[in-house]
Protein backbone atom coordinates (compact mmCIF):
# COMPACT_ATOMS: atom_id res chain seq x y z
CA UNK A 1 0.00 0.00 0.00
CA UNK A 2 1.34 3.39 -0.98
CA UNK A 3 1.94 5.93 1.77
CA UNK A 4 2.22 9.70 1.39
CA UNK A 5 4.83 11.66 3.32
CA UNK A 6 3.19 14.64 4.99
CA UNK A 7 5.01 17.49 6.73
CA UNK A 8 1.94 18.96 8.42
CA UNK A 9 -1.85 19.10 8.35
CA UNK A 10 -4.01 21.75 9.97
CA UNK A 11 -7.43 23.35 9.76
CA UNK A 12 -7.05 27.05 9.04
CA UNK A 13 -8.06 29.74 6.56
CA UNK A 14 -6.64 30.29 3.09
CA UNK A 15 -4.39 33.29 3.53
CA UNK A 16 -3.69 34.39 -0.05
CA UNK A 17 -4.98 34.49 -3.60
CA UNK A 18 -8.53 34.11 -4.84
CA UNK A 19 -9.83 32.13 -1.86
CA UNK A 20 -8.40 34.38 0.86
CA UNK A 21 -10.48 33.91 4.00
CA UNK A 22 -11.93 30.53 3.01
CA UNK A 23 -11.88 27.79 5.63
CA UNK A 24 -9.54 25.00 4.54
CA UNK A 25 -7.62 21.96 5.65
CA UNK A 26 -4.02 22.48 4.54
CA UNK A 27 -2.03 19.38 3.71
CA UNK A 28 1.67 20.05 3.19
CA UNK A 29 3.60 17.28 1.45
CA UNK A 30 7.30 16.80 2.06
CA UNK A 31 9.76 17.32 -0.78
CA UNK A 32 10.25 19.69 -3.69
CA UNK A 33 11.87 19.45 -7.10
CA UNK A 34 13.31 23.00 -6.97
CA UNK A 35 15.12 22.89 -3.60
CA UNK A 36 16.10 20.22 -1.10
CA UNK A 37 14.76 22.34 1.75
CA UNK A 38 18.15 22.35 3.48
CA UNK A 39 19.69 25.75 4.13
CA UNK A 40 23.12 24.57 3.04
CA UNK A 41 21.66 23.91 -0.42
CA UNK A 42 19.75 27.17 -0.82
CA UNK A 43 22.50 28.94 -2.76
CA UNK A 44 22.35 26.30 -5.52
CA UNK A 45 18.59 25.80 -5.53
CA UNK A 46 16.45 26.70 -8.54
CA UNK A 47 14.07 28.50 -6.15
CA UNK A 48 16.11 30.34 -3.54
CA UNK A 49 13.46 32.53 -1.88
CA UNK A 50 11.21 29.79 -0.45
CA UNK A 51 10.25 30.44 3.18
CA UNK A 52 8.46 27.13 3.81
CA UNK A 53 9.66 24.15 5.85
CA UNK A 54 8.73 21.04 3.89
CA UNK A 55 11.48 18.71 5.12
CA UNK A 56 10.55 15.60 7.07
CA UNK A 57 7.29 14.56 8.69
CA UNK A 58 7.71 16.21 12.09
CA UNK A 59 5.17 19.03 11.71
CA UNK A 60 1.68 19.22 13.22
CA UNK A 61 -0.09 15.92 12.39
CA UNK A 62 2.78 15.04 10.06
CA UNK A 63 3.56 11.45 9.22
CA UNK A 64 3.02 8.70 6.68
CA UNK A 65 -0.56 8.30 5.50
CA UNK A 66 -2.37 5.97 3.14
CA UNK A 67 -4.98 7.49 0.82
CA UNK A 68 -7.72 6.33 3.20
CA UNK A 69 -6.11 7.47 6.45
CA UNK A 70 -5.25 10.87 4.95
CA UNK A 71 -8.80 11.31 3.67
CA UNK A 72 -10.25 10.26 7.02
CA UNK A 73 -7.99 12.70 8.85
CA UNK A 74 -9.15 15.58 6.65
CA UNK A 75 -12.76 14.65 7.36
CA UNK A 76 -12.07 14.49 11.10
CA UNK A 77 -10.55 17.98 11.07
CA UNK A 78 -13.35 19.60 9.06
CA UNK A 79 -15.60 21.65 11.35
CA UNK A 80 -18.63 22.47 9.18
CA UNK A 81 -20.96 19.50 8.57
CA UNK A 82 -23.13 21.61 6.27
CA UNK A 83 -20.33 22.24 3.76
CA UNK A 84 -18.16 19.93 1.67
CA UNK A 85 -14.63 19.80 3.09
CA UNK A 86 -12.15 21.99 1.24
CA UNK A 87 -8.57 20.70 1.26
CA UNK A 88 -5.52 22.56 -0.06
CA UNK A 89 -2.58 20.38 -1.08
CA UNK A 90 0.71 22.22 -1.03
CA UNK A 91 4.40 21.68 -0.35
CA UNK A 92 7.19 21.83 -1.36
CA UNK A 93 5.79 20.49 -4.61
CA UNK A 94 2.64 18.42 -3.98
CA UNK A 95 2.57 16.84 -7.45
CA UNK A 96 5.59 14.75 -6.52
CA UNK A 97 3.08 12.72 -4.46
CA UNK A 98 -0.53 13.72 -5.17
CA UNK A 99 -1.77 11.07 -7.60
CA UNK A 100 -4.89 9.53 -9.10
CA UNK A 101 -5.34 7.05 -6.26
CA UNK A 102 -5.45 9.76 -3.60
CA UNK A 103 -7.65 11.99 -5.75
CA UNK A 104 -10.12 9.12 -6.22
CA UNK A 105 -10.32 8.51 -2.47
CA UNK A 106 -10.83 12.21 -1.74
CA UNK A 107 -13.54 12.44 -4.38
CA UNK A 108 -15.28 9.38 -2.95
CA UNK A 109 -15.74 11.39 0.26
CA UNK A 110 -16.83 14.58 -1.57
CA UNK A 111 -13.73 16.54 -0.57
CA UNK A 112 -13.03 19.61 -2.73
CA UNK A 113 -9.42 19.39 -3.92
CA UNK A 114 -7.28 22.52 -4.30
CA UNK A 115 -3.66 22.43 -5.44
CA UNK A 116 -0.76 24.87 -5.06
CA UNK A 117 1.98 23.89 -7.51
CA UNK A 118 5.05 25.38 -9.19
CA UNK A 119 3.75 24.20 -12.57
CA UNK A 120 6.70 22.02 -13.54
CA UNK A 121 4.70 18.79 -13.30
CA UNK A 122 1.36 18.00 -14.97
CA UNK A 123 -1.67 17.88 -12.68
CA UNK A 124 -3.79 14.71 -12.77
CA UNK A 125 -7.47 14.90 -13.66
CA UNK A 126 -9.97 15.50 -10.88
CA UNK A 127 -8.44 18.50 -9.12
CA UNK A 128 -11.06 21.20 -8.55
CA UNK A 129 -8.82 24.25 -8.16
CA UNK A 130 -5.31 24.55 -9.60
CA UNK A 131 -3.19 27.47 -8.42
CA UNK A 132 0.09 27.64 -10.32
CA UNK A 133 2.94 29.74 -8.94
CA UNK A 134 5.80 29.68 -11.46
CA UNK A 135 9.44 30.04 -10.52
CA UNK A 136 12.22 31.44 -12.71
CA UNK A 137 14.51 29.13 -14.67
CA UNK A 138 11.99 26.30 -14.85
CA UNK A 139 9.97 24.70 -17.65
CA UNK A 140 6.26 25.19 -17.05
CA UNK A 141 4.08 22.31 -18.23
CA UNK A 142 0.86 23.17 -16.37
CA UNK A 143 -0.39 25.96 -18.63
CA UNK A 144 -4.03 26.06 -17.52
CA UNK A 145 -6.03 26.18 -14.33
CA UNK A 146 -8.09 28.44 -12.15
CA UNK A 147 -5.41 30.68 -10.60
CA UNK A 148 -2.00 32.00 -11.65
CA UNK A 149 -0.04 33.56 -8.80
CA UNK A 150 3.39 35.07 -9.42
CA UNK A 151 5.70 36.06 -6.59
CA UNK A 152 6.83 39.50 -7.76
CA UNK A 153 9.24 40.95 -8.63
CA UNK A 154 11.14 37.80 -9.46
CA UNK A 155 14.30 37.99 -11.54
CA UNK A 156 13.83 35.95 -14.67
CA UNK A 157 10.02 36.14 -14.74
CA UNK A 158 7.95 38.64 -16.69
CA UNK A 159 4.17 38.35 -16.12
CA UNK A 160 3.65 39.05 -19.84
CA UNK A 161 5.26 35.67 -20.58
CA UNK A 162 2.11 34.04 -19.20
CA UNK A 163 -0.45 36.02 -21.20
CA UNK A 164 -1.31 33.06 -23.43
CA UNK A 165 -1.80 30.58 -20.62
CA UNK A 166 -5.38 29.68 -19.71
CA UNK A 167 -5.96 30.78 -16.14
CA UNK A 168 -9.20 32.32 -14.91
CA UNK A 169 -7.61 34.58 -12.27
CA UNK A 170 -4.18 36.24 -12.18
CA UNK A 171 -2.41 37.54 -9.09
CA UNK A 172 0.87 39.23 -8.26
CA UNK A 173 2.09 38.59 -4.73
CA UNK A 174 4.86 40.75 -3.24
CA UNK A 175 8.00 38.74 -2.52
CA UNK A 176 8.38 38.60 1.25
CA UNK A 177 11.63 39.46 2.99
CA UNK A 178 13.73 42.54 3.59
CA UNK A 179 12.12 44.48 0.74
CA UNK A 180 8.45 43.60 1.18
CA UNK A 181 7.34 47.25 1.15
CA UNK A 182 9.21 48.02 -2.08
CA UNK A 183 7.98 44.79 -3.66
CA UNK A 184 4.40 45.64 -2.74
CA UNK A 185 4.79 49.00 -4.46
CA UNK A 186 6.23 47.26 -7.53
CA UNK A 187 3.15 45.01 -7.64
CA UNK A 188 0.83 47.99 -7.27
CA UNK A 189 2.55 49.87 -10.09
CA UNK A 190 2.45 46.87 -12.41
CA UNK A 191 -1.21 46.15 -11.72
CA UNK A 192 -2.10 49.79 -12.29
CA UNK A 193 -0.84 49.41 -15.85
CA UNK A 194 -2.00 45.82 -16.38
CA UNK A 195 -5.51 45.51 -15.02
CA UNK A 196 -5.92 41.80 -15.77
CA UNK A 197 -3.75 41.22 -12.70
CA UNK A 198 -4.85 41.53 -9.07
CA UNK A 199 -2.92 41.87 -5.81
CA UNK A 200 -2.49 38.90 -3.47
CA UNK A 201 -1.38 39.64 0.09
CA UNK A 202 -0.25 37.01 2.58
CA UNK A 203 -2.90 37.80 5.18
CA UNK A 204 -2.05 34.71 7.24
CA UNK A 205 1.37 36.20 8.00
CA UNK A 206 -0.17 39.55 8.91
CA UNK A 207 -2.70 37.90 11.24
CA UNK A 208 -0.39 35.21 12.61
CA UNK A 209 -2.56 32.35 11.31
CA UNK A 210 -0.73 29.04 10.70
Distances (CA, A) of 98 to 70, 79, 92, 125: 12, 24, 12, 11
pLDDT confidence of residue 81 = 94
Question: Rounded to two decimals, what is the model's pTM?
Answer: 0.96
Instruction: Identify which of 62, 60, 53, 55 has the alpha carbon closest to the alpha carbon of residue 4.
Output: 62
Find, among 110, 140, 142, 154, the residue nearest to 128 by Cα. 110
Q: What confidence score (pLDDT) does residue 194 get?
A: 98
Which of 116, 120, 167, 171 is the catalytic position?
Answer: 116
User: Which of 52, 58, 84, 168 does the annotation list as catalytic?
Assistant: 52
What is the extent of the structural domain holding 30?
4-207
Q: List, run by run, the mean pLDDT of 10-residue segments along the chain (210 residues).
A: 96 97 98 98 96 97 98 98 97 98 98 98 98 98 98 96 97 93 97 98 89
Q: Check which CATH number belongs to the domain holding 33 and give it.
A: 3.20.20.70
pLDDT of residue 166: 98
Total domain count for the chain? 1
Phi and psi at residue 55, in whole multiples of 5°?
-95, 130
**What distance in Å separates the CA atoms of residue 11 and residue 83, rounded to the nearest whole number?**
14
Amino acid sequence: MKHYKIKEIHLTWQGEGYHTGRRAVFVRFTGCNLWSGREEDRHKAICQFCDTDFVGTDGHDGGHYSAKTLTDHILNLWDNPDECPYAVFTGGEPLLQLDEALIAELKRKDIIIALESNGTLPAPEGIDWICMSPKANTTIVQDHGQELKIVFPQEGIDPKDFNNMKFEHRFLQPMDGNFTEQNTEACRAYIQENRQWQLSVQTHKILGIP
